[in-house]
Amino acid sequence: MNFDFDIVVVGAGHAGCEAAAACGNMRMKTLLITMDMNKMAQMSCNPAVGGIAKGQIVREIDALGGLMGVITDSSSIQFRMLNRSKGPAMWSPRSQCDRMVFSANWRAALEAIPSVSFWQDTVVDIILEDNQLKGVVTALGLSINCKKLILTTGTFMNGLIHIGSKQQKGGRISEPASYGITEKLAQAGFKTGRMKTGTPVRVDSRSVDFSKLGEQKGEDSFYKFSYLPISNKKLKQRSCYITYTS
């Protein structure tokens, strides 16, 4: 394998996958580096795409040639148009997706782009010479040359997980954090800080009495996020269930 690339994308979450697809579709020699090839485009917090804010963004991504709308349509298990009680300007599409299908479809879409390559590893250093980017170094000790570097590392750089009053290092539950990039950016003069995201608990459906919950079905009509002419074939549709907590 030749380790000289036009662009290296670090992190294969939603942003990283879109970045790799965009670069690859522009026929740039692109390498997507991820810590786990089986968790590309992982829907970590919420298996929903769309809503009041993100629904607009997904449609904009689609208009620019991105793939999130296409992948969402191919993995949707429920679609609802929110805010129908208000005027059309306030309507907002939301789709619940099969998390495993979503991830698998993203990987398949990227693998179909000839100029996109993959490497399972952790980037631990950025190679700079006279303040010019030259490449990256991985945990396996591999130096990869690139002209441009796109960092889409999500929650993994020096990541911390808070569970109640306890704290542990990690990029995601049961997954390690990555170290080295933050320190290199700080050395190069970039200011770093922390941001926080929250993840809801998971409930085992076998422990739930659904007869006591309110069923919320999806729309009967077929809606799509993407305006591209893809198949209207749908996965088996599922209901959501509503309850109240203290």
Domain range summary for the chain, segments of one domain joined by +: 4-242
Tell me what pLDDT residue 190 has. 93
Residues of the chain with pLDDT under 50: none
> Please, is 192 exposed, middle or buried when counting C-beta atoms within 10 Å of its C-beta (0-12, 13-18, 19+)?
exposed
Other CB atoms within a 10 A radius of the CB of residue 116 amount to 22
| Range list of H helices, the chain | 14-25, 54-63, 68-75, 99-111, 181-187
Q: What whole-number distance in Å separates Cα of residue 68 and Cα of residue 74?
A: 10
Residue 226 Cα to chain centre, angstroms: 17
Q: Length of the chain in residues, anyone?
A: 246
Q: What whole-number distance in Å separates Cα of residue 126 and Cα of residue 37?
A: 21
Tell me what pLDDT residue 202 has. 84
Q: Which overall architecture, per CATH, does domain 4-242 show? A: 3-Layer(bba) Sandwich (3.50)
Residue with tokens 């692109």, as numbered in its chain = 30
Tell me what pLDDT residue 64 has. 95
Q: Encoding tokens for residue 173?
A: 């539950």
Tell me what pLDDT residue 216 has. 93
What's this model's pTM, rounded to 2 decimal places?
0.91
Which residues contact residue 38 at a Cβ distance below 8 angstroms, ignoring those fewer than 6 apart? 103
Tell me what pLDDT residue 232 has. 64
Tell me what pLDDT residue 231 has. 63
